[in-house]
Structure 1
Amino acid sequence: MPSLPRSIAHLDMDAFYASVELLRYPQLRGQPVVVGGRRATPGGETGHFPHLRDYVGRGVITTATYEARALGVHSGMGLMKAAQLAPEAVLLPADFDAYRHYSRLFKAAVREIAPELEDRGIDEIYLDLSALNPDGSREGARAIALRLQQAVRDATGLSCSIGVAPNKLLAKLCSDLDKPAGISVVAAADIPARIWPLPAKRINGIGPKAAARLDSLGIHSIGELAAADPAWLQEHFGERYGVWLHNAAQGIDERPVVTYSEPKSLSRETTFERDLHPRLDRDALSRSFTRLCEQLAADLARKGYVGKTIGLKLRFDNFHTVTRDQTLPRPIGEAAAIRQAAGECLKRVPLERRIRLLGVRVASLTRHDAVPEHEAAQPAQAELFA
């Protein structure tokens, strides 16, 4: 039996946001449930829940249960469009504080077993299991994956799917082969049978535009991509990307599992249910701005960072997006200080149209405990949208 020279796992939580909501509302298990938007207010105590058929707005689906996905709805789809496909699906608002809480729980449980962990977001991680499975056996990899699944379930009550392969690219592909609660172990010798029949767009790194271009060139599966002449790929996609496409289709990926990296920035943003007027809706905008700064300050405090560069992002009703930023003499992390600096950025933006999206960012990050006390900025107050 072929072994795995490296045992790299990709662990992906199953329908994560929706699954967290089902912990709160277990009576909805087995039903099509969509998470997204802000107006929906669950009435779990009375047994009454809003449905997609009643939604009016332009929100998008954050995630959906597998029962809802079977009806054709998916993450990123507009809620109004989803309502046409699944009008009876239950609609729940997103609760990101709860999702972050369960994210921390499952990652802590995994680290107890497999400390070589690369954090890839709120609901997925890579793990290097090579030291835990030194002979690279399938049986060893599957046994570790089963332990990880059980640890996650014990810590959170949630399920996850795990792919184990010789590298990160294949592991990510494999974690999606047998969802939900699946385990897939793939060695290099399995690539022709298990990987090549999959659509080329399933490779992480082939986006919609590249997938459409491949499709127009007659390449639909990973196997067809693997059989393509490397020079031909470079001719159509450029030297660097063409080489990467060839290697990816062959299952070649030498990237290590990166267990630690400093974040470059942290941000918070919100898309309004309706476009807000800079003057007529000043109070609502100011409250949202303040709330974003408070949430961002909490993120910084939790992760232990402060930052010197404060950025502002606005998207107007015509979808034009502008950004402004400024670099301060000292790093900050307090909500009021972030709000003041973001307010200064706001003064440099002509507010002539209604606002669709508002965001705040802190960059040039430094560990809070590495900043001398005399360099720490003092909190300040500022009136925004004045």
Structure 2
Amino acid sequence: MTDFPQTTPAAPRRIAHLDMDAFYASVELLRYPELRGLPVVIGGGGSPPPLQSDGTRLFARLGDYVGRGVITTSTYEARKFGVFSAMGMMKAARLAPQAILLPTDFAAYRDCSRRFKEAVAQIVPHIEDRGIDEIYIDLSGHPEPDEQVGRRLKDAVRAATGLSCSIAIAPNKLLAKIGSELDKPDGLTLLSMDDIPARIWPLPAAKVNGIGPKSARKLEALGIETIGQLAHARPSLLQEHFGLTYASWLLRVANGEDQRPVVTHSDPKSISRETTFERDLHVIHDRSRLSEVFSRLCGQLEGDLQRKRVVGRTVGIKLRFDDFRTVTRDLTLHHDVADADAIRGAAGQCLKRVPFESRIRLLGVRISSLRPMHDASPAKEPRQLTLLD
């Protein structure tokens, strides 16, 4: 009788989602501990709060802000007033005029991000970077129990940064992402498939990453407001209103199904730079200012490409006008480009295809169809171009 080799069953999937708590605001509170417990908003430019003769700092108030900036983040105390990230600061000022306003300091945030990710990698190296303040961690096969490794990860992040984070450990990325929001701040949430009816189904459908505002409104119009109602919806009803592919996905995620792996390395698909102006700019009267910004964005893209060691073939532009209408144009070249001159030239061709009938609120430049840079040539000396060159 032939003996067949025994196979070891694969370890059950254990995926953690780590999300830093009010990250930018928490970094600032380390710098200004006297603001703890107060409503604080981070956003816009400006200088750090000046030190007064008595040793205290003079902090700006949100109610005194005038401009076109948007909120980057806010403390939990500010969120109680309805002030959240991506909200216009003028609108936020009406909701919480006494909130403290601090300028963004992205160098400090990037440094803190690097430190917390390095601390996690010392414990579990299988990390998917999802941005400056969140990561997925593949714990499948890790020997420690969930609660033990979760506590150790949280302690390591606090030791490296002085900040708290919230972690959820679940059978997949979908549940881990939702779970990390359940017990914020400083939460540790452990989920299994058996927890879905009690902990996941009562949540709004929009809590699922991938169900945006438009889809949530359509679901609500069908009488589907929670994840549980979505899980029990008639498949034919969903297919009628969302199509077969998206309806199938909705039913899977509502039942906690997600097979996406933790991706520890990925190549960028595109790189972009954009800026929102403090005031809407006129294409003729503000031509010099637009040209200056246009050239700067292209130069920044060149630097990004050099750092990532990639070149691209498709150049595009993005414009948002004063009526919030957004226009994009792309141009695919016959050769790869990586220097500011070539990017400006191609982006300028895209701009010529746009009718400028309104003032410009936002200008952006991007490059895609990327591939590795094997034989990088020295960057050319920049030359000044007008917006439509």
Could you state the TM-score of these two structures normalised by the residue count of structure 2?
Answer: 0.88
Residues 1:209 and 2:241 are matched in the alignment: no
Identity of aligned residues (%): 62
Q: Which residue, out of 24, 29, 51, partners 1:45?
A: 51
- Aligned length in residues: 374
Whole-angstrom distance in 2 between the partners of 1:242 and 1:109: 40
Report the CA distance between 1:239 and its aligned residue.
1.6
Superposed counterparts of 1:233-252, under 5 Å: 233-252=238-257
Moved over 6 A (4+): none
Whole-angstrom distance in 2 between the partners of 1:154 and 1:331: 45
Report the CA distance between 1:348 and its aligned residue.
4.3
Tell me the residue number matched to 2:37: 30
Superposed counterparts of 1:1-386, under 5 Å: 5-38=12-45, 40-46=46-52, 47-133=57-143, 140-368=145-373, 371-373=374-376, 378-385=380-387
* SS of 1:113 mapped into structure 2: coil
Shift of the 209–272 alpha-carbon distance from structure 1 to 2, 3 Å rule, reads same
Instruction: Out of 339-348 and 54-63, give the one that drifted further.
Output: 339-348
Report the CA distance between 1:180 and its aligned residue.
1.1
Report the CA distance between 1:235 and its aligned residue.
2.9
Instruction: Out of 356-365 and 284-293, give the one that drifted further.
Output: 284-293
Instruction: Out of 208-217 and 247-256, give the one that drifted further.
Output: 208-217
| Letter in structure 2 aligned against 1:43 | P
Unaligned runs of 5+ in 1: 134-138
Residue pair 2:294, 2:387 contacting (<8 A) in 1 also: no
Instruction: Out of 261-270 and 77-86, give the one that drifted further.
Output: 77-86
Tell me the residue number matched to 2:4: none
Shift of the 159–338 alpha-carbon distance from structure 1 to 2, 3 Å rule, reads farther
* SS of 2:178 mapped into structure 1: helix
Shift of the 49–122 alpha-carbon distance from structure 1 to 2, 3 Å rule, reads same
Whole-angstrom distance in 1 between the partners of 2:36 and 2:44: 20
Whole-angstrom distance in 2 between the partners of 1:373 and 1:79: 43
Whole-angstrom distance in 1 between the partners of 2:26 and 2:342: 37
Instruction: Out of 336-345 and 119-128, give the one that drifted further.
Output: 336-345
Shift of the 346–243 alpha-carbon distance from structure 1 to 2, 3 Å rule, reads closer
| Letter in structure 2 aligned against 1:92 | L
Whole-angstrom distance in 2 between the partners of 1:225 and 1:178: 23
Whole-angstrom distance in 2 between the partners of 1:190 and 1:5: 16
Report the CA distance between 1:122 and its aligned residue.
2.1
Shift of the 227–26 alpha-carbon distance from structure 1 to 2, 3 Å rule, reads same
Instruction: Out of 181-190 and 71-80, give the one that drifted further.
Output: 71-80
| Letter in structure 2 aligned against 1:50 | A
Instruction: Out of 216-225 and 160-169, give the one that drifted further.
Output: 216-225
Report the CA distance between 1:308 and its aligned residue.
2.8
